[in-house]
Structure 1
Amino acid sequence: MEGGLPGGNPTMARWRRSALRAWRRMRRQAVDDFRGDGTDRTALTVLLALLPVLALGTVVSPEWFPPTALVVPVLVGGLALRPSSLVLLYTAASGTLVTEALVMSVWQGGVARVSPGSILVVSAVGCIGALLAQFRARLGVPWRRGESMLIDLRQRLRVQSRVPGLGKGWHHSIELMAAGGQLFSGDFVAAARPLGTRRLEAVVADVSGKGMDAASRALLLSGAFGGLLGSLPRDQFLPAANGYLLRQEWDEGFATAVHFVVDLDTGEYELRSAGHPAALHLSADSGKWAVLQPEGALLGVLDGAEFEAMRGRMEPGDVILLYTDGLVEMPGKDIRDGMDVLTDVCAKLLPTAVETSAAWKGLARTLIETVAKDVNDDRALLVIRRKA
């Protein structure tokens, strides 16, 4: 009768057949990996050779080689081997542990048997190693490269956020800070100076989510926005960015952005916003801050959205602040209160910052640390000043 003994459970029989097929498939894959991948083969060979050495040490000198010493090859295998190769190592480790228990029971008359606690420890470490191997298999990179890839991605995000030199007559300061002290941020800045022009185009964007959850989308968008900047007429940038987000069809795919274009010869600028916090313009003559808040829908929400422009002129000594909401939103307070705090602190720091280029470059970081250092949100700030 199919399924084994007469009267057997057909469901259990199907499960047994499925498990057997999975085991055979993983075993074949392990053999193929062992034959085809030199690095995996070398690592597996070394770890398999280490098992009898540890077992012998446990039998001869359990004080120096306890049964839990098997966690070393088990954990290293979880970090270095593919899941299919890990099956062979874990099978061999299980056989080694059983052999240790039998030999020690006979050798020492049952006095130094392998305890249940040792078995649980080795099993728990094996489960952790299997989870790590499965994660690396999904990622598709060796464990040695995973961290370096993340560092490289972070560096690329920062490189893409650099503002090109503005030339004589201009200062700029930029800073990005991620929520919770993480390395990755959902806020970013992209800037470009089109070839053959004296024009700066900059966009400050805030991707939905924060920290690591938004970092991958921020990296993708920063590259896309950087490619669009300067390649399209200024009034078409935000519509093109909006269409790009709509095509991604992300579950949490909206973003806010402010697009700033300034003529570096005349100081005339255009500002467009896509649901982003207002920009701030400090007039050197009056010492007053103007709130620049053009109308515009969130990016990635409404097809065919329109974005109106606000135009103005930066006179010598004027300052423009472009930032994300993490810098001005405070629990229990209106966003205008956060904007007032930002402008007050900026007004106090500006006289000192303009004295040296080093102080000016650190102005954005100082502002963030003063206004919103402990805020659990991503923060980005770009300060642009026309020299007096």
Structure 2
Amino acid sequence: MKHGALLRKISVVGVSAACCIALVGCGGTNYGYTGGVAATVNGAEIQEDTITKYIQDFRTSSDLTSDDDWGNWMKENSFDPATVRDQVIDYYVENELKKQACDEKGITVEQSQVDDEINNMKANYDSDDAWKQALSSAGLTEDQYRESVEAGLLDEALEDAVAGDAATADDSKVLDMLNTYYTMFNGAKKSSHILFASGDTEKAQEVLDQINAGTLDFAEAAKQYSTDTASAADGGNVGWDAINSFVTDYTDALDGLSVGQVSGLVTSDYGIHIIKCTDEFTCDGKATSLSAYPQEFVDYISNIVKDQSKSTAYSNWFNDYKAQADIQNNDMPENVPYNLDMTKYDNSDSSSDNSDGSSNGASADTNADASATEDSSESSNEKSSDSENSGQ
């Protein structure tokens, strides 16, 4: 799961996605292949060896180092060496264009921002060794990962600069999306909790007994006793389960509660919880007003709609910017190591299968864009507060 989060941070589209090596910029390193220039972007050169290394790294990481495995993979995914090269070149072209646009607009990223992003990612790992192992598994050095983080932050800043004004959410669109995805919210429960340290069972039971006896208010108990200080300030409120991620122990206990009901002691990796169900929501997807939904759901979907609007505006702007650029792609050298005569594979229907009937190689991701709703939802979840996570 943690490796997956790391890979999502650095992956790019098409063939490049499978490479999982986010080398940014045009790169002038000669890796000892053929040399030469693959393409120019407004005069800036993209070196042929940079493209070759990217493809060769992909072959290595995907166990496609033999000519037959590589040829069969290309056939299965409707590629040939030239189209693979074109996709990788396009990735570098777009990176260079975004870099040039940032330079034109004076957009920069502070190194402290990059440090913060990397430190936040490192915090998901138990040790520095585990972090280095995650990088190694992704085929990255920390410097390469750092470059990818910086490129991502620059891209976000560029999007804000050219499309930030488009981040709007019309009420009718928000309501339509709420009704369309109403099953996500139907049956949702809102809860509060009081969190105790794992070894503090006696105190937790004492507080629970007082709450059940009616001598101690739940919200006041959260403020006084909960180690989750962020939610404690709000009476233990950790929000709706439909738009927050809670650990299984917590959700299992919450599922069994009715509104106003308090759980027993619930143990999770975070400690000992006392959970109270504070609200439950039902809907049928036929609401005619936003007021039919809790404000938290309205805000959640509004942010998704805003992100979609901004993303569309940014994509349109970038496509226009790219169309106006002077981009020159040079012919593929015949002697690049990934070049094959594909006629052998075009005429064979069985060579792609192993003797055991299984298919070899990695599958290509040919989708250029992920779902805007999924990206926005992930972004919203990543911004959940620490208090929500600890209540999880």
Alignment TM-score, normalising by the size of structure 2: 0.22
